[in-house]
Amino acid sequence: MAGLALDGSNPDVSLLYDINGLAKSAPTWFDRVMEFVGEYGIMLGMALVVLWCWWSVRRRGTADDSVTAVAGIVWAPLAAGIALLINIPIRGFVERPRPFRDHQGLDVLVDGKNDFSFVSDHATMAMALGVGLFVANRKFGIAAIALALLEGFCRIYMGVHYPTDVIGGFALGTAAALLLAPLAMMLLTPLVAAVSRSDRLGWLVRSRRPEPSATADGRAGAFGIPEPRPRTGGGDGEKGLAA
């Protein structure tokens, strides 16, 4: 399988040259930016999205909602790690060389990539994080998936992966995050619920802000102190007492 997509007439290779060709016509400073973004920047962005999601979900909804959402957030990086472990035997089985090993004229933006190409670790990890985060919160999950798609484009732009390497990484990351999610949530939810009941660690799951309690007429009062009710029929009542 080492000869996979080595023919220059293959659409996989043609798309590789088309996307990587953008690097040749781009200014040097832009290539340096793309190199950093594709190698480190998007992963840092993913970490910020995960932290932002955690900070948001622990402040909204009910306590049960926070427990479920935080369990999903914990699952996202775990899914990425599991997907990377699954990729180790896949790479060893396929043994696909990096595209610049078999094709001339590519503008390779990063050095030192001597391992096998299929599937892309960066694409696998990014998509597993995105899909795993989608389990916890759709809004933040969609943002993370968009970053994962950008990661895949960057890896091809940098000349270190074929398009099918990236597609394979997306598929692996998605499968790991979704197929294992029911079991993961079944195990993580009770653990996160136990943490939420802890006096020292409960803030990791639920914000310590006091929640307003409802008054007798259904409105939220400050710290549960009931508001005075308006007096009705005050004149007749006073006359009745006087009588």
Question: For residue 15, is it within any domain?
Answer: yes
Query: Residue 225: pLDDT above 80?
Result: no
Higher pLDDT, 53 or 9: 53
- Tell me the DSSP string of 185-224: HHHHHHHHHHHHT-TTTGGGTS--PPPPEE-TTS-EEGGG
Provide the domain limits for residue 22. Answer: 11-202
Q: How confident is the model at residue 210 (pLDDT cuts 50, 70, 90)?
A: very low
Average pLDDT value over all residues in the chain: 82
Question: For residue 231, is it within any domain?
Answer: no
pLDDT of residue 232: 52
Helix axes 42-57, 121-136, angle to 10 degrees: 10
Q: Which of 40, 45, 129 is nearest to 80 (CA)?
A: 129
How far is residue 222's CA from residue 19's CA, in Å, rounded to a whole number?
A: 58
Q: How confident is the model at residue 106 (pLDDT cuts 50, 70, 90)?
A: confident
Average pLDDT of the residues in 79-94: 94
Average pLDDT of the residues in 163-167: 95
Query: Residue 189: pLDDT above 80?
Result: yes
Query: Residue 70: pLDDT above 80?
Result: yes
pLDDT of residue 103: 80
Average pLDDT of the residues in 81-105: 90
Query: Residue 43: pLDDT above 90?
Result: yes
Question: For residue 233, is it within any domain?
Answer: no
Range from 158-162, 176-180, 195-199, 207-211 carrying the lowest mean pLDDT: 207-211
Domain count within the chain = 1
pLDDT of residue 88: 94
The CATH code of the domain that includes 157 is 1.20.144
- Residues in contact with 181: Cβ distance below 8 Å, sequence separation at least 6, in sequence order: 75, 79, 132, 135
How far is residue 158's CA from residue 201's CA, in Å, rounded to a whole number?
A: 43
Question: For residue 98, is it within any domain?
Answer: yes
Question: For residue 166, is it within any domain?
Answer: yes
Residue 74 CA: distances (Å) to CA of 43, 52, 230 = 16, 13, 49
Q: Which of 179, 182, 183, 204 is nearest to 193 (CA)?
A: 204
Question: For residue 207, is it within any domain?
Answer: no
Average pLDDT of the residues in 25-49: 91
Question: For residue 5, is it within any domain?
Answer: no
